[in-house]
Amino acid sequence: MDTKPKITARVVAVQDDLVTIESITTENGSHPLTKNEVIYILPSRLADDGRQEYLKAEILRISGNRADAQVYESTSGVGVSDSVVQTDELLSVELGPGLLGTVYDGLQNPLNELSNQYGTFLPRGVDLSALDHSRKWLFNPSVKAGDIVRAGDELGWVAESRFNHLIMAPFDLLGPWKISWIQKGSFTVEENVLEIVPVSDEVNSVQAPRLIGLKQRWPIRIPIGKSLIQRSQAERGYPTHPLVTTIRLIDTFFPIAKGGTACIPGPFGAGKTVLQGLISRYSDVDIVIVVACGERAGEVVETIREFPNLQDPKTGGTLMERTIIICNTSSMPVAAREASIYTGITLGEYYQSMGLDVLLIADSTSRWAQAMRETSGRLEEIPGEEAFPAYLDSSIKSVYERAGILTTMNVEKSRSGSLTMIGTVSPAGGNFEEPVTQSTLSTVKTFLGLSSDRAYRRFYPAIDPLISWSRYVPQLKDWYVNNMGEDWLPRINKLKQILTKGEDVRSMMQVAGEEGITVDDFILHQRAEFIDRIFLQQDAFDSVGVSVPLERQNALLNLIDEICVYDLKCSDKTEIREWFTELTNIVKNLNYSKMNDVGYNNYISKIKEMMK
């Protein structure tokens, strides 16, 4: 911010984090107000250290020469007639090398850097650069002087972690531009590495030449993919491959498409945090972005402490080397919590446009929706169900629709990347009928419902197979047939049928006891319990059982299929229970053994012996 910023408006009203401003009329007229424009409020009272605070805010609504803006920090001390500075920019993020391994708040302020400069308690009105402007990166050009480039085209690359971080032409370019000069070497993100000039026979020829560096800025509420598609530089693809999470229940029963959407709703204590942690660690993706948009501070601190120490199963390095964390806890300002999810999605789209596979996990969207509800209430908008804004449904859809497959149209260097979005929902009391959950379910294509009953019974993951579903099965069928056999879908449907009928028998037993059901029904119940305990459940703390490749999942499915069709010649329910108990223990030990080693083969032999 300039030392002498130009004052263009004044504060006329303050209500919590909602501030009403009014344009100042000067001899040159008044500065126009723009929706979603970023402004800075300058409290007349200086900070305790004598520093002038600049409180970032975003204009939400305009009425004549007045506007309502949400402030991203505490408005304590802000009063009527305080000065306002307009930036003429939308709320944007910095995109460039150095994002990976960083922890940001919802406005892309690097929390580690804030902590180093200001200590444990972060001061108000501080706005730091998201990228390290002093670090040098070795830029390797991919084009030369005289080449024609368009929006999103690759200009060069720098090495970031284990990736080639592509430096792309600005996403807002219109038409073709010619490179007038380009240089190779080590540069900071602030230095210019090339210049582009407009092609003379195009409409944009009236524009001035542009200097390009290693970074660019992009508004978080405008999808990068949509901008490239509008400029005929990219097209959306159709997801045809699953996101392999190595969690048996998800990969086999309720698959998520790579570039698709999913939600994990469940009550508190049902295991959402552990589940999303394992999905982010073992999923078949390049980049992981965790957006903690409203979780309790303790859970966020646990995530920040664990990720740098967890081993990346792909590279052997730390998981943080390919992870970005955006955290705005429930104790942070409401407005920043609402913006955090858009910040995370924009960073995900940036890496997606490079041709990388990105996984974004939002935890939890319930708190994000509550932030919208608080802001809507202060704006005195007409409320919808349970006081959520009437536009809740469209807001949730606009977030999830930014996931997908994006393929660039450059024939020589076309690339295809994916952005998969998984949102966790925390409905009060586990009520899936509340508005946020229902709006999410109508948007996503995979629903992994967590059950408090299964969580209390120490089942992990506590995903209820009787209420969960995936709409990706038809479009992923060809992939599964090629990788898991032509009978994959019939086998899964048969197991689901056993689980459903077994639950019905379990309900009957709770009323009539074991004596009140037939032997066949009892065997069916034991089969369902067997499938549940050795396939649906997984040990998150075992080095072998925590991550199960698809090959091993398929082998276990074949074994279960043999057991389920085995005709158990027995009429004594006690003997039947003992047989299934022994078999369950053997298969559990099998799951803890490395595939095809001596112990694994011995357990297979024992199982075959039991079925003779």
Residues annotated within the binding site are 266-273
Q: What is the dihedral of CA 569, 575, 581, 584, to 10 degrees?
A: -10
d(CA 224, CA 452): 39
Q: Which residue, among 94, 90, 1, 79, has the nearest Cα to 40 in the 3D structure?
A: 1
Residue 113 near residue 166 (C-beta atoms within 8 A)? no
Residue 130 near residue 216 (C-beta atoms within 8 A)? no
Match 């200086």 to its residue by tokens.
46
CA 565 from centroid of its chain's CA atoms: 41
* Residues that constitute the known binding site for ATP: 266-273
Backbone angles phi, psi at 236, to 5 degrees: -80, 140
Question: Would you state the structure tokens that stand for residue 162, as one six-digit string?
Answer: 């284990």
Residue 315 near residue 100 (C-beta atoms within 8 A)? no
Q: Give every CB contact of residue 130 below 8 A, 6+ residues apart in sequence.
A: 93, 94, 99, 102, 104, 108, 109, 110
Q: Respond yes or no on whether the N-terminal peptide bond of residue 461 is cis (omega within 30° of 0).
A: yes
Residue 445 near residue 451 (C-beta atoms within 8 A)? no
Backbone angles phi, psi at 78, to 5 degrees: -80, 130
Question: Would you state the structure tokens that stand for residue 612, as one six-digit string?
Answer: 């003779």
Residue 455 near residue 462 (C-beta atoms within 8 A)? yes
Question: Would you state the structure tokens that stand for residue 586, as one six-digit string?
Answer: 């053997």
d(CA 84, CA 39): 7
Expressed in angstroms, the distance from the first to the final Cα of the chain is 79
H or E segment and range at residue 584: helix 573-591
- The interaxial angle of helices 519-531 and 550-565, nearest 10 deg, is 170
d(CA 159, CA 137): 8
Give the bridge partners for 187, in sequence order: 137
Give the residue ranges of DSSP H helices in 170-321.
224-230, 248, 272-282, 297-306
d(CA 278, CA 39): 40
d(CA 215, CA 468): 42
Give the bridge partners for 420, in sequence order: 359
Give the bridge partners for 195, in sequence order: 181, 211
Dihedral sign from CA coordinates of 93, 99, 101, 102: negative
Dihedral sign from CA coordinates of 473, 474, 475, 477: positive
Q: Give every CB contact of residue 374 below 8 A, 6+ residues apart in sequence.
A: 334
Q: Sort residue 388 into left (φ over 0), alpha (ψ -120 to 50) or beta.
A: beta
H or E segment and range at residue 163: strand 163-168
Strand, coil or helix: 156: strand
